[in-house]
Structures are given as C-alpha cells and as structure tokens.
Structure 1
Amino acid sequence: MYQLLQPKISSYELIDSGNFEKLERFGDFILARPEPQAVWDKSLSEETWEKKASAIFRKTKGKDQLSPDERGEWHNLKKMPEKWLMNYEQGGRKYKFKLSLSSFKHVGIFPEQAENWQYIEDKVQKMGIDSPKVLNLFAYTGGASLIAKGNGADVTHVDSIKQTISWARENMDISQLTDIRWVVEDALKFVKREVKRGKKYNGIILDPPAYGRGPDGEKWILEEGINELIKSCLQLIDDENFFFILNLYSMGFSAVIAETIIKQNYPAATNTEMGELVLQDSFQKRLPLGVFYRFASV
C-alpha cells in the first residue's frame, strides 16, 4: 500500500511554502530557504516572510560538481546565534540536536524523518533481543542513530564526512547517550567489506544522497550506484530479526524503484511499506520531501 507519512514535532513547524521556498520554525528560530518541490504560490506575502524569518538563504552563482543544489549564503534578518539547540521527544526520552546554518541550506536535521524514527523505535522494541545491531549509512548528523541507541540498539554510524561525524557525536553527547560506533568511510566500501566478513545486522537504515563524495574522493551518483548498494545491504540482514529502511530524496526517483530492486533480490521481504514523506504547512499545503521503502520481520 502506498502511504503519505506526515510527522508532527512540537519543536518544528512548516509555516508556509511556495514559489520554490519554505518558511520553517526550528526551535526558537524561523528560517526561509529554497525548496524545489514547492511549485505552488505562497500563502503569506513576501513582506510577512521577511518579518517572520530570522534568516533567509539565497543561492549564489556556480554549482558544486556533485551537488544538485547551488551553494549559497544565509542572510540574518534578526539577531540569532551561529548554533542553537532543538529539542525532540519520543517514547518518553528527550533528544537534543545542534543546529547551524550551512552553505548548502541545510541546518542539521530533516524533520520529515521523524516518521522513520518512530518506526525504528517500534521495530527495535518489538524484536525482543538484547542490543540489536543497527547500521545507519549516509547517517548525517545522526537522528536515526540517536533513536536506535536510545532504545537499546548497538549502533554503527557511517558517513564519509569527518565534520558531520563530529556533529553527530555532539548530538549523542548532548542527548546523554554513549557508545555509538563512528565510521568515516564511503558507504559502499564499508558495506562490501562487512559482507566479506560475514557480518549481520538487525536493522539497516539507508539514506543516500543524489550526489556525493567519499573521504578518498569516491564519486557517488544515486542512479548509478543504488542497485549495487541495495543488493550488498540486503546480504547483511539478519535471518530472523530485522528491519530495513530506504529513503530516496532525488527528485523524480520513485519508491517503486526501491520496491523493484528489493523484490528482485530479497523476495522474502515481509511487512513491506512504501510511499512519501511529507510535511504540511499551516495552510494545509502538503510538501513531498522524499520517498521511502521499508520492511521488517515484525
């Protein structure tokens, strides 16, 4: 069944969207930044956006060779700190995320992923085993890693960028968690090595970007590498207790692509779910922010 999953987070709000932008509240601060899928009109005036926003992101000319988005700069409209914290509560546990304005318009968290975080908590708890092993690939600042660890999982967090790993480690520390395993490496290289070692994981979270580079300059292009990566990851799944989550953010990429690759290579997949992650603004406009495919043993 195809689903639209729409999370609700008290510390986050999508205020308005349109004209290829979105206006969002992250904790105490409101930001305006580009959003290529917001093709409709804004509901609020430009003047209102500027009055509400603490900072606005503007693109600059020139593209990074492997980035689908143009680089840009944040322009502060009101006084705000360089870094701030956003609180998140799930399952009775409180988590904290350090947020910051980056030159690629990101701030350190993808709120739409809260639906997958709920899924991770549910599956880890239902396994009924001590310290299930969870692998988080392209793990960014570690939202999924924190949730898995907070529910008792033994977590391996893999990302190719050392600074991002440091950011995720800060999130672990301020969330009062410990002992996540940090790996700075190209995701496909890591997975292939784990396959050779005969390793198995109870949970695999796969969140590949459209474009990227590994720590040694390895080039990643989603449509060229996704088939091999998924096939390799499927070899790491535990035989009895498992969950698998795949997110795809590239515009034009369908969840059906993920479904087809997984069904071809792992026909035993059970309790399958697929669809889109969406956020709804205060004017009931629903903004799609990626597709997902997931399955689990329970």
Structure 2
Amino acid sequence: MSTLSLLPLESRTRRRRWVPATILILLVAFALIGPWVFASPFAQDLSRYLEPPSLTEPLGRDEYGRSVVSRLAHATRLSLVLASLSVATALLLGTTLGTMAAWRGGWLDSVLRGISESFVAMPALLIVLLFAALAADGSLWALYAGLALAQWVEYFRVVRARAALILGSPAVEAAELLHLGRLHVVRRHLLPELRPLLLTLASLGMVTAILAMSTLGFIKVGLQPPRAELGLMITEAFPHYDAAPWLALAPVVVLFALTVSLLGLRRKEDSR
C-alpha cells in the first residue's frame, strides 16, 4: 500500500523536473532557429511603425519598424551564449585555483584566499558595472570579463572548502600510499564529489549573469543600441507601453522563463 501511494508522488515529481528542462530546450531552440527564420533584427522600416502582431510578425514591429520576434531571438541567443561563456570561464578558473589552494596550502592558499576576499568585499554587479563602464562602445569582451571575474570567487571558495575535506579523507590517503598519482585522485575522488556542487553553482551563475546583463542594458550601461539585448529591449519599449504593450512584455517573459527554467534545474541537482 505504501509503495502504491508513493508512485503518484514520484510521478508528479518527475514531471515537475521535466518542466524547466523543456522550457530551457524551447528557449535554446528559439535562440538558435529564430535568427534564421525571421527578418534581420537591424532592418528598419518606418512605414511599419509599431505594427501590431500578425501571422508573419508574431510580436509585431517596434518604433523603428524592426521585427520584435527577430530581435528577441537574437537577444535570447546573446544572453545564453555570453552567460555560458562567462560561467564556464569562472567555473574553470575558480575550480582550478580552489583545488590548488586546498592541495598545496601554505603561501599559495594564503595569497589566493586574500585575493578572493577582496572580490567578496565588492558587490558582483559593481565589478560587472566597472568593466562595462570601461568599454564606452559596449564591448562584449568587457562585459564577458566582468561577468567571469564577478563569479569565479564563488567556485573558488566552495571548491577549496570541499576539496580540503576530500583530500584529507582516508580514501585519498590510501591512494597516495599506493602511489596511484594525482590524476587518479582527481578522476576518482575529487570530480565525483565536486560535480553536483559545480552544476548547482553553474545553474545559479547562469541566472546571475543573464540578470546582470539585462540590468546593465536596462540602465544603458552595458551593451549599446542597435544591438538586440533583453534589458535594452525593455528600456526602448517603455515609452510605447500604452500603444504597444507587447514590446516590453516579450523580453520580460523570456527573462522570467530563463530564470524559472535555470532555477528549476538547480533544484533538480540539489535533490540528487
């Protein structure tokens, strides 16, 4: 009886886990396929000023007569690609330095901890803002560097603390006594223990990076027009909210969907 009563609950839980993954897959497909299907996001046609949605233009046209759905697809792709690159860089840098600090200890650990604490003392968004402000032309590379440097410290601190416990475990001590080598320790002991933590941090880091980009675009400090970016699209649509509410609503919905799907994946990893 108890097993039968648990089956519906497990089924509902499994379905709930698939929902964020499905949303994310649809957004990725939209970001990849949309730019090839719809018109150029930069092509202007002032005769189609604030054109309402139609079959050919599902989200209508903006104040410059540009295709909103095309700009939304490009903005979604930009957010996903830039966030993925910055998170991958931060993960690689933070994991490598955190493992080195836990393994070597001594002066190297002290130096790396001092550097990490200086980054922790500054808000992450401030670091991104400083890098974005340094690039007056709204350079993608400046924004990428700021996002990566703002996040690496999270991976460093988590990996350093966890790796120190793993490296001091009896299993690792036995591997060292048997002279199995550091590659064996990393492959068989460190990576299996660190992988769930890194996946959780990466999912949360994607959300942080996407929201940071949108926040900077919203205040027109990050990427600059005519580039299609979610935060910029919201800002540009505000003056026309009464006449064309779909202009601001579309990027807000995409931002919400990205956040919900990535946070849903994070909860999935946490439950393992």
Name the TM-score, length of structure 1 as normaliser: 0.27
Greater helix share, 1 or 2? 2
Compare CA radii of gyration and give the structure with the larger one: 2
- Which structure has more relative contact order (CA 8 Å, sep 6+)? It is 2
Structure with the higher strand share, 1 or 2? 1
